[in-house]
């Protein structure tokens, strides 16, 4: 018995679940309260950052995020003329950049850097190809979103710090380069269709791009056998939770209730993500479900503020999310079948 008490005190999972839920909820409420452009973007970034890192950002890392934002948006702006005047070459170049970003993360690179590069690369270039003013709005959303994300992450770590005396996590062995290339290829194929739709109508398909980026990351750690259950199941879970959230929020629509309901729903998912509640799903399943919830809910709030039919828009958006998820499942199975096919005899 004496040896179990220190183990419980050193268990970091409760702190991490509370930090993830509080940081995401605070960022969501602040983003909508300040009426930031693309207000669901900062909480999604905060969700990914808190899930990927268990340590607070240093001043150097925070400055690095600002530099990363400049590099990301600058790269996206450079692709705009190519997408306008040579669309085929531009799309192929974007696909190559996505492949390199996913491959960088799979080879042991910083997942956070890879995520920000992919989001900036797809959103800035797709919106700028339609109208440069929209690209500037996306850049503004990314910069302000990263600043707000840094503040909310710092607040979350200050309120719920990591327990002292934790051992360093084991270093992952380097993956097989050939396997890494195939996985990066299928992740790229998941993101490209949403990117093409955003080129046609960026205002309507920005949430779909964010969903595709989340799926692309999940594809990197999902096998072909589990693709349907992992990808489609997490998308349906996020949609179901969004309906329940909206129904609860409609009883008393207020910013503080928005914060509290977000805190509750994300905490329920975070407990399963960190295995505080026994379940058979992978952490990526719960993380993708939480990202889907935030994207759907955030866009519904914007639709309501703009006077649109929230339920029709939600049904259309959910249908698109399911379609891109089914496509992701098919891409995983097709690429893995191709990868595992034996070479013909000479």
pLDDT at 204: 76
Domain coverage including residue 269: 11-163+176-339
Is it the case that residue 139 has pLDDT exceeding 60?
yes
pLDDT at 245: 95
Give phi and psi for 18, each to the nearest 5: -65, -40
In the chain, the largest separation of any two C-alpha atoms, in whole Å, equals: 71
Q: How far apart are CA 266 and CA 65, in angstroms?
A: 25
- Residue 96: count other Cβ atoms within 10 Å of its Cβ: 11
Is residue 106 within 8 A of residue 184, CB to CB? The reply is: yes
pLDDT at 1: 45
- Over the stretch 22-77, which tens digit does the pLDDT of each residue have? 999 999 999 999 988 889 989 998 999 899 888 887 777 777 777 777 777 777 88
**34: nearest Cα among 121, 203, 152, 134:** 152
Residue 125 lies inside a defined structural domain of this protein: yes
- Over the stretch 312-344, which tens digit does the pLDDT of each residue have? 989 999 998 998 888 888 887 887 776 655 544
Residue 1 lies inside a defined structural domain of this protein: no
Residue 200 lies inside a defined structural domain of this protein: yes
The whole-chain average pLDDT of the chain stands at 83
Range name among 146-160, 175-189, 212-226, 325-339 with the lowest pLDDT average:
212-226
Q: Which residues 6+ apart lie within 8 Å of 41 measured at CB?
A: 31, 119, 141, 142, 145, 210
Q: How far is CA 15 from CA 25, 45, 162, 280, in A?
A: 15, 19, 7, 22
pLDDT at 345: 47
pTM: 0.86
pLDDT at 50: 92
Confidence category of residue 163, pLDDT binned at 50, 70, 90? confident
Residue 345 lies inside a defined structural domain of this protein: no
| String of DSSP letters for 260-320 | HHHHHHHHHHHHHHTTSS--SS-HHHHHHHHHHHHHHHHHHHHHHHTT--HHHHHHHHHHH
pLDDT at 346: 43
Q: How far apart are CA 139 and CA 73, in angstroms?
A: 6
Instruction: Please indicate whether residue 82 or residue 1 has the higher confidence score (pLDDT).
Output: 82
Residue 201 lies inside a defined structural domain of this protein: yes
Q: Is 36 helix (H, G, I), strand (E, B) or coil?
A: coil
**94: nearest Cα among 198, 224, 203, 201:** 198
Whether the CA torsion 109, 110, 112, 113 is positive or negative: it is: negative
Is it the case that residue 175 has pLDDT exceeding 80?
no
225-246 average pLDDT score: 85
The DSSP symbol for 229 reads I
Q: How far is CA 271 from CA 13, 93, 117, 231, 247, in A?
A: 8, 40, 29, 19, 23
- Over the stretch 250-272, which tens digit does the pLDDT of each residue have? 998 899 999 999 999 999 999 99
196-214 average pLDDT score: 84
77-93 average pLDDT score: 88
Residue 85 lies inside a defined structural domain of this protein: yes
74-87 average pLDDT score: 85
280 by Cβ neighbours in 10 Å (0-12 / 13-18 / 19+) ranks as: exposed
Residue 108 lies inside a defined structural domain of this protein: yes
In the numeric block, which tokens belong to residue 34?
Answer: 């300040």
Q: What is the dihedral of CA 286, 211, 38, 121, to 10 degrees?
A: 120
Number of domain units in the chain: 1
Range name among 66-75, 144-153, 163-172, 185-194 with the lowest pLDDT average:
163-172
pLDDT at 176: 66
Residue 259 lies inside a defined structural domain of this protein: yes
In the numeric block, which tokens belong to residue 283?
Answer: 């952490």
196-220 average pLDDT score: 83
pLDDT at 43: 94
């Amino acid at each position: 018995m004496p040896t179990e008490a220190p183990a419980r005190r050193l268990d970091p999972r409760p702190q991490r679940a509370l930090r993830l839920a509080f940081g995401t909820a605070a960022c969501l409420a602040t983003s909508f309260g300040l009426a930031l452009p693309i207000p669901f973007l900062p909480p999604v970034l905060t969700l990914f950052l808190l899930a990927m890192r268990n340590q607070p950002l240093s001043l150097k890392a925070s400055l690095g995020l600002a530099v990363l934002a400049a590099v990301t948006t600058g790269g996206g702006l450079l692709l705009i003329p190519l997408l306008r005047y040579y669309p085929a070459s531009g799309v192929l170049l974007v696909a190559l950049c996505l492949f390199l970003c996913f491959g960088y993360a799979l080879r042991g690179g910083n997942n956070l850097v890879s995520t920000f590069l992919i989001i900036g690369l797809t959103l800035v270039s797709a919106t700028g190809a339609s109208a440069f003013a929209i690209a500037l709005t996306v850049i503004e959303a990314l910069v302000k979103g990263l600043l707000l994300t840094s503040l909310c992450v710092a607040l979350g770590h200050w309120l719920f710090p990591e327990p002292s005396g934790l051992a360093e996590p084991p270093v992952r062995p380097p993956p097989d380069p050939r396997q890494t290339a195939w996985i990066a290829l299928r992740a790229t194929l998941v993101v490209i269709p949403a990117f093409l739709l955003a080129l046609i109508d960026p205002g309507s398909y920005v949430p779909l791009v964010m969903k595709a980026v989340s799926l692309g990351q999940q594809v990197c750690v999902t096998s072909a056998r589990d693709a349907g259950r992992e990808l489609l199941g997490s998308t349906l879970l996020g949609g179901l939770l969004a309906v329940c959230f909206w129904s609860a929020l409609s009883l008393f629509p207020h910013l503080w209730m928005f914060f509290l309901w977000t805190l509750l729903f994300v905490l329920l998912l975070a407990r399963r993500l960190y295995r505080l509640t026994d379940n058979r799903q992978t952490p990526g399943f719960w993380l993708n479900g939480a990202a889907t919830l935030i994207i759907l809910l955030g866009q519904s709030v914007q639709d309501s503020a703009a006077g649109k039919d929230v339920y029709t828009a939600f049904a259309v958006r959910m249908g698109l999310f399911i379609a891109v998820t089914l496509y992701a499942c098919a891409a995983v199975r097709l690429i893995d079948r191709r990868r595992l096919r034996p070479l013909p005899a000479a």
